[in-house]
Chain A
Amino acid sequence: MQYVKNSKISPDEWLHADTDGPLPAAGDLIVPLARWRAEKDQLLARKTRLGVRLASSESPEIIRDDLGRFDLIALEFPVFRDGRAYSYARLLREQYGFKGELRAVGNVLYDQFSFMHRCGFDAYEVQKDIDAQRFSRALSEFTVRYQPDPDGSPSAIELRHQPQRNAKIQRGRP
């Protein structure tokens, strides 16, 4: 498993807490939703950064009021075809204004990177090393997109009808 942050393989400073058992004494910690609910006070008393991990059946709507408490939200992709977390990511970024790390965990493979990135993920626990090594390549497969992206990248419609913006982007290309 490789950790990719901002398109680069990086050391992962975070620990995942198990569903039960004692919490590690130190270190930045990602806890499952159930532990957040059960051990809120204890978790907030730690002096470390805190993240929460949501299963694909757990909508971020349920932690909406607590979003300010988290530096990281990990969204699970239990299998390739379970695409709920794509919607969750967009809600978190575009509607709830979550600015922390949005991490894809679980079945995270090369051919999903660009979809995930475009929905607002910025960190990935990648299953295969070779996929992680080619991360940037996955993001560069398309220069044209038909949908507006949360990062402000223009869609084909915007490029067609905003020539100034188009020219700027053309100039910006190597």
Chain B
Amino acid sequence: MYRYDEFDHAFVQERVAQFRDQVTRRLNGELTEEEFRPLRLMNGLYLQLHAYMLRVAIPYGVLSSRQLHKLADIATKYDRGYAHFTTRQNLQYNWPRLEDMPDILDELASVEMHALQTSGNCIRNITADQYAGVAADEIEDPRICGEILRQWSSLHPEFSFLPRKFKIAITGSPRDRAAIKLHDIGIVMVRNPAGETGCEFWVGGGQGRTPVIAKCINAFVPRRDMLSYSEAILRVYNMHGRRDNIYKARIKILVNEIGIDEFRRQTDEQWALIRGGALDVPAEEIARITAYFAPPAYEKLAPNPAGFVQKRDSDPAFAAWLRSNVAAHKIPGYAIVNISLKPIGGIPGDATDVQMHVAADLAKRYSFDELRVTHEQNLTFADVRQSDLYDLWRQLGEHGLATPNIGLVSDIIACPGLDYCALANARSIPVAQRISERFADLKRQHDIGDLKIKISGCINACGHHHVGHIGILGVDKKGTEFYQITLGGSADENASIGEILGAAFSYDEVVDAVEKVVETYLKIRTGPDENFLAAVRRAGIAPFKDALYAVR
């Protein structure tokens, strides 16, 4: 993984010193809360319902064991012994004190981490495919461009006061696990006919109250031009994005209002002015960063070793975990392991300090000292020998980290909702917990198959409800929580926005409604090979509507 050089170290230390000074000026009254607010937000510090919340950046979702140990230590020392992994591959502490903040940032800096631009109207943490470097169909490791963009976007002098927040996601593989079409800029690494790798740029995707699928703005930008091209897009947005209405300020609204062709024309016009200049990424820099993401020292192994096959065939619980949580690796004899942070009845994405230490130790032992955070709020060990899978599974299980439910009905994305968030209209976490408990029977979950439920506690859509196969949106009706259900959303390479099923359900009714939807799917599916999303796409929402609203 990437390691800081002298410049990166100095930069982050200088940023901590700057924030320490800002906190001092706030505490001594030199800055009003109104003046301090945008400054603290630019460093990931929110004021929530009950306390401050600190959001730590995990660039493109990659962590070393050492970093995860440090994150666990911070949870013990400055918080309440747990932390929360978010849909943007970040980590949140829910109870830190303002006075402790500079010290927390110092501790993060000691392991090459920071909270830069995890909030505010600036370019946020760059996210990427959690299978970076290990997916068989990958064109190029997305973390290389991710790191180049991370550096370029850090305290950008021109783009730190954009109309609204700006999110970039990258996938190196045509199979999209990073939801790139739901980002302000989405990048797909591609290869041109000459065999060179480059970036396919998508622009104007997003969720919130106006969900939009991104549009392709440029099918091939050479890597050396990726910063000048990004800068051109951002400059058009910074000058022309709407600032009169916070709900219309994202780039998706600008792209929709002027049209993708006009947006492309303006971008090209700006790009022509700066292309080939100081923003060119030199080949030496691409090579320098690429070297950090060189494959680890894989052993030459035979696939499916006998001991592994024997355990798989004799232990059904292990086999079930392999089926849902373990994915194919590009190197024979290795596997990709997904660690569910969605135990039955648990809070999606939460991990205790002990669990974080355990995951860090196991990653060190079994996966080259590295792990990834997924946008679906789980963890990934990218490089595990198949022969180690059984031991790893047993040790994960001892700490509640082996729930075999990745991609299944209880692998729910949920925002913090009304339990923490000042913007929420309704609770999300307890709805996720109750659905998870309703489908606690893992055999039943495996029978149902691939099903992504996503829950947001308000229209800002942090829980990605628009792109859930089943989406649940909490709304407030005269002081009471209600939940609107959408069907057929998807965040992958065939992204789609879910369709609203009908009238919203009360907090008490919503879990029954979800179960009814699932039962209806089981009834109408052509067979176990037709997953939930495929069935909805084939049959439409009518059968689900009939099933749900006929009984009311």
Contacts from A to B (Cβ < 8 Å): 56, 59, 80-84, 86-88, 90, 94-95, 109, 111, 114-116, 118-119, 130, 141-149, 155-161
Which residue of B is nearest A77, CB measured?
B161
In the complex, how many angstroms separate the beta carbon of B36 from the nearest chain A beta carbon? 9
Q: Is B38 engaged at the interface, CB distance under 8 Å to the other chain?
A: yes
Residue of A88, A95, A116, A155 near B239 (CB, 8 A) is A88
Contact, CB under 8 Å: A157 / B161: no
**Which residues from B are CB-within-8-Å of A142?**
11, 14-15, 18, 155
Residue of B154, B274, B282 near A146 (CB, 8 A) is B154
Report how many residues on chain B are interfacial, defined by Cβ distance under 8 Å.
42
Evaluate whether A161 and B155 lie within 8 angstroms (CB atoms) in the complex, with A59-B239, A82-B161 already known: no
Which residue of A is nearest B238, CB measured?
A87
Evaluate whether A160 and B5 lie within 8 angstroms (CB atoms) in the complex, with A111-B39, A141-B14 already known: yes
**Which residues from A are CB-within-8-Å of B285?**
157, 160-161
Which residue of A is nearest B158, CB measured?
A86
**Which residues from A are CB-within-8-Å of B281?**
157
Which residue of A is nearest B157, CB measured?
A118
**Which residues from B are CB-within-8-Å of A114?**
157
Complex: A109 Cα to B38 Cα, angstroms = 12
Complex: A77 Cα to B15 Cα, angstroms = 24
Contact, CB under 8 Å: B161 / A146: no
Complex: A54 Cα to B156 Cα, angstroms = 23
Complex: A142 Cα to B243 Cα, angstroms = 30
Q: Is B273 engaged at the interface, CB distance under 8 Å to the other chain?
A: yes
Contact, CB under 8 Å: A149 / B157: yes
Q: Chain B contact residues: over half helix, strand or loop, or mixed? A: helix
Q: Is B441 engaged at the interface, CB distance under 8 Å to the other chain?
A: no
Beyond the given pairs A146-B154, A156-B11, 15 more chain A to chain B contacts, judged by CB atoms under 8 angstroms and listed by A's residue number, are A59-B239, A80-B38, A80-B161, A83-B162, A84-B238, A86-B159, A86-B238, A114-B157, A141-B21, A146-B151, A147-B152, A157-B282, A159-B7, A160-B284, A161-B282
Residues of B333-352 at the interface with A, using a CB-CB cut-off of 8 Å, are none
**Which residues from B are CB-within-8-Å of A144?**
7-8, 10-11, 14
Q: Chain A contact residues: over half helix, strand or loop, or mixed? A: helix
Jot down 6 A-B pairs with beta carbons below 8 A, ordered by A.
A80-B35, A88-B239, A94-B274, A141-B21, A146-B151, A160-B288
In the complex, how many angstroms separate the beta carbon of B24 from the nearest chain A beta carbon? 13
Q: Is B546 engaged at the interface, CB distance under 8 Å to the other chain?
A: no
In the complex, how many angstroms separate the beta carbon of A156 from the nearest chain B beta carbon? 4
**Which residues from A are CB-within-8-Å of B410?**
none
Q: Is B17 engaged at the interface, CB distance under 8 Å to the other chain?
A: yes
Q: What are the interface flags for B279-299 relative to A under an 8 Å C-beta threshold, 1 for contact and 0 otherwise?
A: 101101100100000000000
Which residue of B is nearest A144, CB measured?
B11
Contact, CB under 8 Å: B18 / A115: no
| A-B CB proximity, top 5 nearest | A83-B161, A148-B278, A118-B157, A156-B7, A144-B11
Contact, CB under 8 Å: B157 / A119: yes
In the complex, how many angstroms separate the beta carbon of A94 from the nearest chain B beta carbon? 8
Complex: A158 Cα to B7 Cα, angstroms = 11
Q: Is B22 engaged at the interface, CB distance under 8 Å to the other chain?
A: yes
In the complex, how many angstroms separate the beta carbon of A127 from the nearest chain B beta carbon? 10
Evaluate whether A81 and B121 lie within 8 angstroms (CB atoms) in the complex, with A142-B11, A160-B7, A160-B285 already known: yes
**Which residues from A are CB-within-8-Å of B5?**
160
Complex: A96 Cα to B168 Cα, angstroms = 30
Which residue of B is nearest A114, CB measured?
B157
Complex: A10 Cα to B22 Cα, angstroms = 26
**Which residues from B are CB-within-8-Å of A56?**
243
Contact, CB under 8 Å: B17 / A143: no
Q: What are the interface flags for B85-124 relative to A under an 8 Å C-beta threshold, 1 for contact and 0 otherwise?
A: 0000000000000000000000000000000000001000
